[in-house]
Amino acid sequence: MATPLTPAQVEQLKRLAKKLAREQSIPLHEAQRRLAAENGYENWSLLHKRSVSTHKGVLLVRAVPLAASETPELPVIVTGGLNREYLHGDQHEVHLNRFFCRSCDEFVAPEHFFEHHDRQETLGRALDALTLWHLPSNENAEMRPDNAHNILEDDARREEIAFQHSRGAFHRWLERHKGKRSRIGDLAVDVLGDKKFPVAVKSVEEAVSYLHSRFASDGAVKAMQQAWRQFETVKSA
């Protein structure tokens, strides 16, 4: 069983991961995975969770000035006391040119988000975190300032609006079946979770062609054909 690491040990491993990534020309997440395995953890996220309180899109840290010898992208992490939670894309309260990247669990320069991560994925992560944070049921809401600046928020919200406007009638109809215990309900979960699905699809042939391009099973194709028949029936009623 892996031994929980101290915040200082986690910071040291972060530095080692960056060094390993540079020296071996591998992605940072691969370097982190290797170091996590060497320390008895299945992945980097589990290693981090055993020493730092985190959840999706959020990091619990203390916003304090860094010593002159410390690099700005390495926050001072604590497990108690007065804390501040950072969402994916949130600006550091002291080092204003650094923003929290949940994917890498560190503060980074603004260009990092789109240079090292898929644009759609990183904006989606930010929007998910912001949406969850502002839910009335969120008991931790007071641990993030109301005026906190998130560098990804404006782009994330604009692209979400554009996405909603681009959705076709079938995609919206399918959403109403999400969660139902049926073949179409299962299809709805898969389609709505697929960021590359053509949301403006206008024919069953187009939808099935996409499934084939993704090497979908015969069962998924049949479910799509069944869903489209039901959709056409409702549309023409």
pLDDT tens, residue by residue, 177-235: 988 899 999 999 999 988 889 999 999 999 999 999 999 999 999 999 999 999 999 87
Q: What is the pLDDT of residue 130?
A: 92
pLDDT tens, residue by residue, 78-102: 333 446 788 999 998 888 899 999 8
Compute the residue count for the chain.
Answer: 237
Q: What is the pLDDT of residue 41?
A: 83
Q: What is the rounded distance in angstroms from the CA atom of residue 21 to the CA atom of residue 17?
A: 6
Q: What is the rounded distance in angstroms from the CA atom of residue 134 to the CA atom of residue 146?
A: 10
Which amino acid makes up residue 120?
A: Q
Rounded to an integer, the average pLDDT of 15-28 is 83
- Across the beta sheet with 84-87, the strand order is 54-55, 58-61, 84-87
CA–CA distance from 191 to each of 130, 131, 164, 173, 177 (Å)? 23, 21, 15, 12, 11
Query: 3-state class of 170 per DSSP?
Result: helix
Q: What is the pLDDT of residue 66?
A: 37
Q: How confident is the model at residue 236 (pLDDT cuts 50, 70, 90)?
A: confident
Asked if 73 and 107 touch (Cβ cutoff 8 Å), the reply is yes
pLDDT tens, residue by residue, 87-144: 999 998 888 899 999 888 788 999 999 999 999 899 999 999 999 888 888 777 778 8
Residue 71 has pLDDT above 60, yes or no: no
Looking at per-residue pLDDT, the higher value among 95 and 61 belongs to: 95
Q: Could you tell me which of 45, 81, 47, 46 has the C-alpha nearest to residue 61?
A: 81
Residue 23 has pLDDT above 90, yes or no: no
